């Protein structure tokens, strides 16, 4: 038998559909918890796409595409 992994420590992609409600109940939705999640996501993105030894245009092009989509939504808010 594999060691039981706590539901709180499992990633969202590994959570079964029946466990989703209890997994969400264990999340920290305080402003500090949300800020920490954003910070961890930024660090993961930065280390995967920007801070690499042999970099490419993947990470920078994703940021540029996000900026273009966001500016389009701001310019054409009536759509």
Greater model confidence, 5 or 73 = 73
Lookup result for tokens 């940021």:
63
The closest alpha carbon to 22, from 34, 32, 10, 35, belongs to: 10
Could you tell me the two tokens for 43? 């660090």
DSSP for residue 3? P
Q: Which domain holds residue 30?
A: 3-77
> pLDDT (tens digit, 9 = 90+) per residue, 16-67?
888 888 888 888 889 999 999 899 989 998 888 888 777 677 778 888 999 9
Confidence check: pLDDT of 1 > 60? no
- C-alpha–C-alpha distance, residues 44 and 46, integer Å: 6
Number of compact structural domains in the chain: 1
The CB density around residue 49, as the number of other CB atoms within 10 Å, is 17
């Amino acid at each position: 038998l594999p060691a039981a992994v706590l539901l709180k420590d499992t990633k969202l992609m590994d959570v079964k559909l029946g466990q989703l409600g209890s997994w969400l109940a264990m999340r920290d939705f305080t402003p500090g918890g949300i800020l920490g999640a954003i910070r961890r996501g930024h660090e993961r993105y930065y280390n995967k796409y920007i801070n690499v030894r042999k970099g490419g245009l993947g990470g920078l092009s994703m940021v540029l595409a996000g900026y273009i989509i966001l500016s389009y939504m701001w310019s054409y808010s009536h759509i």
